Homo-oligomer: A and B are copies of this chain.
Amino acid sequence: MSLVRVHNFSISLDGFGTGESQQLDAPFGHAGQQLVQWAFGTRTFRTMGFPGESEGSFGVDEAFASTWGPGIGVEIMGRNKFGPQRGPWEDHEWKGWWGENPPFHTPVVVLTHHPRPVLEMEGGTTFHFVDADPVAALEKARTLAGDRDIRIGGGVSTVRQFLETDLIDHMHIVIVPIVLGRGDRLWDGLEGLEQRFDIEATPSPQGVLHLVFTRRTVQ
């Protein structure tokens, strides 16, 4: 059975996966780039097109960042990750934050209550807009992924919903040592989550903490 995986998902010390007031020029709201800055210097993110001065690092941050892609057949993302609009689509001009050639290179299931035709991008990324709960969305994703794994790409409420329904097998969370104060909290409603996972922690010289959650095999 293919795995359901979360990668490179950053939260603040106080558990916020995004700040308040997401906008076109601020995908993480008032958090700015603080939550994702650790990743921008890695080889993996440089290769995805994130700007930077070097060719990218190969330390522990890269080691974790690079597990993002291999084996993945499809990503599931919430509509808030796809864009800042809410409610019915006013037009179909918005094609995500990532330009004409998004870094996914696989089908991407975008969860939304508002249908829209399949959107084919360059480089193998196709956005499928689906109105479904996590179980049904995963079923749809599996038909697109074949025997490869499914990545839950966020945002916060999407990851939380998949955790609530116990659909996640592997989860890589990065704690960034900042106190955001406002935004969407990852852990809300997940009391006792640790009983379902083995958890391993690794600090990075950059100051972030990589946590790896591995779902325990049911005995």
A residues within 8 Å of B by Cβ?
13-15, 175, 177-182, 185, 187-194, 199-203, 207, 209, 211
Contacts and interface: CB of A to CB of B under 8 A. Distances in A.
Nearest to A191: B181
Nearest to A179: B193
Contact of A187 (B179, B201, B202): B179
A13 B182 contact: no
Contact of A203 (B15, B177, B181, B202): B202
Nearest to A163: B179
Chain A contact residues, majority secondary structure: loop
A179 B207 contact: no
Nearest to A211: B177
A78 to B, nearest CB: 21
B179 A194 contact: yes
Contact of A207 (B175, B201, B207, B209): B201
A192 B179 contact: yes
Given A185-B14, A187-B14, A187-B179, A201 B209 contact: yes
Given A181-B191, A209-B209, 13 more contacts: A13-B15, A14-B15, A14-B187, A175-B175, A177-B194, A177-B199, A177-B211, A178-B193, A179-B192, A179-B194, A180-B191, A181-B190, A181-B192
